Amino acid sequence: MGNLVRNDKIRNVAIIAHVDHGKTTLVDAMFKQSGVFREGEIVNDRIMDNMDLERERGITIAAKNCSVVWKGVKINIIDTPGHADFGGEVERALFMADSAILLVDASEGPLPQTRFVLRKALEAKLQIMVVINKIDRKDARPQEVLNEIGNLFIDLGADDEQLDFPVLYAIGRDGIAQETLEEKGENLHILMDKIIEFTKGPLYDPEQPFQMLVTDLSYNDYLGRLAIGKVVNGSVHCNESLVCIKENDVQARLKVSKLQLYQGVKLVDAEIVEPGDIVILAGIEDVHIGDTVATIDQPVALPRIKVDEPTVSMVFTINNGPLAGKDGKYVQLRKIKERLHKETLMNVSIRLEEPETNDYVIVKGRGELQMAIIVEQMRREGFELCVGRPTVIYKEIDGKKYEPIEHVYIECHEMFTGIVTEKLSARKGRMINLVNSANERAFMEFTVPSRGLIGYRDQFLTDTKGTGTLNTLFEGYEEYRGNFPVRFTGSIVSDRQGEAIAYALFNLEPRGELFITPGMPVYEGMIIGEHSKDLDIDVNPCKAKKLTNMRAAGKDDAVTLTPIKPMTLERAIHFINEDELVEVTPNSLRLRKTVLSAALRHAMRGKEYMESLKENS
Ligand SMILES: Nc1nc2c(ncn2[C@@H]2O[C@H](COP(=O)(O)OP(=O)(O)OP(=O)(O)O)[C@@H](O)[C@H]2O)c(=O)[nH]1
Ligand SMILES: [Mg+2]
C-alpha cells in the first residue's frame, strides 16, 4: 500500500442529530446560499425530504445525498434521519462521510439519538464539528448545551483531538451561523468556510486502482439499477468494464453505462470521476448495499457495511378476510414477498425471514415506526395485507432467554412522576435516576424492556397530558425480566358479516370504546372496539331495533353516538394482541382476530384451558 493522499477538492460531510433538531432545514439554507437554485426559483421547505411520507410526517426517513460548491470545493452533504428507528440509515450514511456536523438543539441539548449518532461517528473515526442550532428559541441555553456536548464526547471516549471540536451557533431556519454568541450572524458563510478549513478531503491511495463501496441503491426507468457510493480509490470512466464483488467474494462483471454526480439536489452526467467523490453508477442490475465495485485486474473487496441488528419483528401475511381484494392491486403472498425483498435491497436495517409453511413472512427491523412506514408505503402502492403485533427479537445466551432493553429518558411535570413510574414498573421498567428541577419539571431515567415500550408512547402522552417528552436509546440485551400483560383490555368482536347499525352500536357503547361508525362493513371475527374488561366478547353490531311499523331498519334510529377516534396504522399496530391482525388495504384499516370463526376461537380457548389445567395438576 502506498502513501495516502487527500483530495482537497472534495469534502464529504454527514449531518447528524437527534430527531427534529433541524438537519434538513439547515441543508435547505446551505443550498440557498451556495447558489444551487436559480434567482427567484420557487423551492419547497425541507427539499431533501422528498418522499411523500417524509413530507407528511415532517421527518426524514432515509439518508440522502446532495452537494454544494463553496469557494471551488465540492461539499457532498449527506442528510440523515434523527429518529431512532432509522438509525441504520445513519450508520450506512457514515460510510460515505469523512466528517460529520453534529447538530444540537440549543434548548433541548444532547438527547438519546445525539448520543447514538455521535457514538457511531466517533467509531467511524470521522472529524466532528458541532453546530448548536435554534439559538433563536426563547428557551435556548447554548452555553449549558455546549458543556453537555463536551461531557457527551468525554463519556463516549473521544480522544484529545476529537474533543477539540470547533463550535458554531446557528439559526438554521434563517440561514445564519456565527462563531460566538455575542456577534450577530448574517449568513452561513462561516459554516461553509469552517467545513472547508476544518474538515479534510477524503483520503485515498494513489497507487490503488478503482474501488467503490456501494452504500445506497436507486432505480431509473432508463438506466435500471443505480449503485451509489464513495469512490474510495482510483478513478473510473464511462464504458469501463469492472467487477462487482458480492458477499463471500462472488464476482460479477459489469460495464459502466453511465456515471453521475450530485450537483445540488440533481444528478449530472460525468465522463470520469475522482477518488473521494460520491458517485452514481449505472450498468449493474444485481448489486447490493455493501458490495465493492472494483477493476477486473485487481478485484479487492472493501470491508462490508455492517449495521446494528434488528430488534423488532412483525408478521406480514395475506389479507384472507371476507372483504379481501376489494380495493388492492396486489394481494398474493408472492407479490408481498417480492415487494419486501425490494425493501431489503434499499433498507439496510431490514431483514426477511421466510418460514417453510409459506403462509406468512417475518420482517425484522429497528422499531415499530420503521415497520409502520413500510406498511404505509405498501398500501399506497396498492397492496392489501395483514400484519401482526410487533414483537421484540429474543436471543438465547448460555441457555437463558435475553431480551432487548431500552434506556428511557423522560421529562415531565413533577405531578406525573407517580403515574409514569407506576406504568413503567408494570412493564418491568427499573428507575435509575430521578432529578427534580427548580421549575417543577422532573427528569427520570429508566431501563425498560423494549416489548414494554411498544404502544407505551401514546399512553405516556395521555398520562402526562401531552406535556412530557420521552426518548429512548437501545441499550443492549439483558436477561428476560419476566412476563407482563401487553394489554389490560379485551376486544369487542363482531359475530357476523353485515353492515354496522347505529342502534346496535349505541347499545354496545357501554362495553368499551368503539372503532367503527354506522354503515361500515363488518364481518365475523372483525374487532370493532376495545372491551373495557380483560376478555373478548362476540357481539352483533348489525342488530336493528325491533320495528312495529314499516320504518326501514337502521335509517331512523334517533341515537347519538360518541365520536370515534380515527384509527391510524400506528394505533392499530399498538392495539392488537398476539392473536390479532391489522388488515391493511389502500382505502381501509380494519382490526381482526387471526382466527375469524367465533366457534373455532372458543374451541381453541377451551383446549388451552384444558391444557393449563393439565399443566397445573
Ligand atoms: N426555532 C427554530 N426552529 C427551527 C430551526 N431550524 C429548524 N427548525 C424547525 O425544527 C423543525 C424540524 O426541522 P427539520 O429540519 O425537519 O429537522 P431534522 O433534524 O431534519 O428532523 P429529522 O430528519 O426528522 O430528524 C421544523 O419545524 C423546523 O422549522 C431554527 O433555527 N430555529
Ligand atoms: Mg430531516
As given in the structure block, the three cell numbers for residue 3 are 502513501
- Mean pLDDT split into 10-residue runs, the chain, 617 residues: 87 96 94 80 83 91 93 95 91 94 96 92 94 96 96 92 94 96 93 94 94 91 91 94 93 95 92 94 91 95 88 95 93 94 88 87 92 95 96 93 94 93 95 86 93 88 88 91 87 96 94 95 97 94 77 60 91 92 96 95 83 70
Alpha carbon distance 527, 512 (integer Å): 12
Counting from 1 in the atom list of ligand 1, the atom nearest the Cα of 25 is 15
Q: What is the 3-state secondary structure (H, E, C) of 10-76?
A: EEEEEEEECCCCCHHHHHHHHHHHCCCCCCCCCCCCCCCCCCHHHHHHCCCCCCEEEEEEECCEEEE
Q: What's the full length of the chain, in residues?
A: 617
Question: Residue 174 CA: which ligand is closest?
Answer: 1
Domain 312-392 and domain 395-479 have a common topology: yes
Alpha carbon distance 60, 44 (integer Å): 15
Alpha carbon distance 563, 578 (integer Å): 28
The CA 18 to ligand 1 mean position distance, Å, reads: 10
The Cα-based distances of 74 to 8, 192, 358, 566 in angstroms read 9, 11, 50, 47
Strands of 10-17's sheet in order across = 64-70, 73-79, 10-17, 99-105, 127-133, 167-171, 176-178
As given in the structure block, the three cell numbers for residue 117 are 449518532
* The predicted structure's pLDDT at residue 548: 63
* The predicted structure's pLDDT at residue 151: 95
The CA 330 to ligand 1 mean position distance, Å, reads: 37
Question: Using CA positions, which residue lies closest to atom 13 of ligand 1?
Answer: 22
Question: Using CA positions, which residue lies closest to atom 32 of ligand 1?
Answer: 134
Which of the following CATH numbers is that of domain 208-295: 3.40.50.2300, 3.40.50.300, 2.40.30.10, 1.10.10.10?
2.40.30.10
- Would you list the domain boundaries of the chain? 5-202, 208-295, 312-392, 395-479, 490-605
* CATH 2.40.50.250 assigned to 490-605: yes
Question: Residue 185 CA: which ligand is closest?
Answer: 1
Alpha carbon distance 120, 349 (integer Å): 15
Q: With beta carbons less than 8 A apart as the criterion, state whether 12 and 78 touch.
A: yes
CATH topology of domain 395-479: Alpha-Beta Plaits (3.30.70)
* The predicted structure's pLDDT at residue 1: 58
The Cα-based distances of 128 to 326, 389, 487, 568 in angstroms read 53, 39, 44, 39
Q: Whole-angstrom distance between the N-terminal and C-terminal Cα of the chain?
A: 72
Alpha carbon distance 472, 367 (integer Å): 11
Nearest to 410 by CA among 427, 392, 428, 435: 435
Architecture of domain 5-202: 3-Layer(aba) Sandwich (3.40)
Q: Which residues line ligand 1 (CB under 6 A)?
A: 17, 19-25, 46, 58-60, 81-83, 133-134, 136-137, 171-173
Question: Using CA positions, which residue lies closest to atom 5 of ligand 1?
Answer: 173
Ligand 1 pocket: which of 20, 23, 46, 102 to mutate (most atoms within 8 A of CB): 20
As given in the structure block, the three cell numbers for residue 477 are 440485551
DSSP letter at 534? Answer: S
Q: With beta carbons less than 8 A apart as the criterion, state whether 565 and 381 touch.
A: no
The CA 20 to ligand 2 mean position distance, Å, reads: 7
Sign of CA dihedral 517, 523, 526, 527: positive
* The predicted structure's pLDDT at residue 119: 93
Alpha carbon distance 432, 426 (integer Å): 16
Ligand 1 pocket: which of 131, 173, 369 to mutate (most atoms within 8 A of CB): 173
The CA 8 to ligand 2 mean position distance, Å, reads: 28
The one-letter amino acid code at 479 reads E
Alpha carbon distance 166, 195 (integer Å): 10
The CA 76 to ligand 1 mean position distance, Å, reads: 20
CATH topology of domain 312-392: Alpha-Beta Plaits (3.30.70)
Q: With beta carbons less than 8 A apart as the criterion, state whether 468 and 400 touch.
A: no
The CA 81 to ligand 2 mean position distance, Å, reads: 5
